[in-house]
Amino acid sequence: MISTCTGSDDSLFREALDFAGRKVRALVRRDPDFYPMYTDRGRWRHDLPAWTHWCDGFLPGIMWILASRGDNSWREPAERYSRRLEPRQFDREVHDLGFLFLSTYGRWRAMTGDPALEAVLTQAGRTLALRFREKGAYLRSFVSEDSLFIDIMMNVGIIFRAAQETGDEALLDIAMRHSLTTRRVLVRGDGSTAHEGLFDLETGEFLRQTTQQGSRGDSCWTRGLAWALYGFGAAYGHARDARFLRTAEACADFYVANCPADGVPPWDFDAPAESRGLVDTSAAAIAASGLLQLADIGGDAMKAKGYADNARRILGTLCERYLAAGDPEWEGILKGGVYHLHKGLGVSESVMWGEYFFVEALDRALGDG
């Protein structure tokens, strides 16, 4: 890891991590064994819908990061919250098994080296691979057979991992072909991304770009772009195929070139005028962590410094302007996330994936966990 933090960044980031730990501790005490997804006016507990159940790994994932930084008090809740997810290694309802298991069992395995944990990760990879459609060569999204989401690039890593662990060439083939299809149909020539692609189920022909959570089919939903930046970087880490590195870099360059100077993007780069002022801090947190990953794996020192500098700039803004530190009633860590604007879910709220990738990015930036 390239550590280019200045001393002042360092203390800002450490304070933010301490704050995050206090917030998660308060949540665990207030609502034990509860896995919230987004806040409602700053409160985690509410009856608003989930749309899909993809987030339960992020809260224990934060605990694992804090445990790996040396605070042993997080070990017991991290294990307990992770263990309760174990049955979901067989979950065929979601395309999010990477989110669920890399943040939990993946971190647990990395921290303890316990090989028994790998079986759960491998099974989760095998289950996700069952979503693969030969016609079209993609892992179908949770919404329908003909649908591919950019988000799945964050999950395909668990199939790469299962392939590496087992030597199963069929799994590797699925992970590679899904990633190449996503690159071909959802990443545009300028490095921007579409959220969703639709295929003809009979022929496998790619039909068109569309969206669920973005502004339009031809817009660039910023969280989707951040998922691509991070996901293709992770795919490069697994496969060492230079096409994935180039795609991750193109997405990173598009993000940096189109963001305001503070590094925190609008919820969609092509948002209509009435919502252009609405930011998504979760996209910024994912991008910051993905940029630090790129700085680590890319190999080009000049580019690496640029990615790391941009990541620190984003993190600095998040720490200074979006931390809920000045609002004791607010239960989340980071304000200004957006889940699903069209459904009115989690708009300008704390969102659990934003909390997780913010903490991960801080941990990566400090690099001394």
User: What is the binding site for ligand GLY (CB under 6 A)?
Assistant: 54, 151, 213, 223, 339
| Cα 65 from Cα 199, distance rounded (Å) | 38
| Cα 16 from Cα 24, distance rounded (Å) | 12
CB-based contact 341:267 (threshold 8 Å) = yes
Helix axes 352-366, 301-317, angle to 10 degrees: 130
Q: Closest approach of Cβ 142 to ligand GLY, in Å?
A: 9
Among 198, 308, 320, CA closest to 264 = 320
Q: Which is nearer to ligand GLY, 265 or 298 (CB)?
A: 265
Q: Which is nearer to ligand GLY, 236 or 353 (CB)?
A: 353
Residues near 271 by beta carbon (within 8 Å), at least 6 away in sequence: 215, 219, 278
Q: Closest approach of Cβ 193 to ligand GLY, in Å?
A: 12
Q: Which is nearer to ligand GLY, 35 or 108 (CB)?
A: 35
Among 350, 365, 267, CA closest to 314 = 365
- Strand ranges inside the chain, DSSP E: 132-133, 138-139, 147-149, 196-199, 206-210, 337-340, 345-349
Q: Closest approach of Cβ 151 to ligand GLY, in Å?
A: 5
CB-based contact 244:236 (threshold 8 Å) = yes
Q: Which is nearer to ligand GLY, 174 or 352 (CB)?
A: 352
Q: Closest approach of Cβ 73 to ligand GLY, in Å?
A: 30
Q: Report the alpha-carbon angle 342-232-283, nearest 5.
A: 35
Q: Which is nearer to ligand GLY, 223 or 238 (CB)?
A: 223
Q: Which is nearer to ligand GLY, 183 or 223 (CB)?
A: 223
Q: Which is nearer to ligand GLY, 151 or 249 (CB)?
A: 151
Q: Which is nearer to ligand GLY, 196 or 331 (CB)?
A: 196
| Cα 211 from Cα 214, distance rounded (Å) | 5
Q: Closest approach of Cβ 63 to ligand GLY, in Å?
A: 21
Q: Closest approach of Cβ 6 to ligand GLY, in Å?
A: 31
Q: Which is nearer to ligand GLY, 109 or 151 (CB)?
A: 151
Q: Closest approach of Cβ 55 to ligand GLY, in Å?
A: 8
Give the H/E segment covering residue 8: helix 7-30
| Cα 349 from Cα 337, distance rounded (Å) | 5
Q: Closest approach of Cβ 227 to ligand GLY, in Å?
A: 7
Q: Supply φ then ψ for residue 221, to 5 degrees.
A: -70, 120
CB-based contact 109:119 (threshold 8 Å) = no
Among 125, 122, 124, 179, CA closest to 148 = 179
Q: Closest approach of Cβ 168 to ligand GLY, in Å?
A: 27
Mapped onto helix, strand or coil, the DSSP state of residue 331 is coil
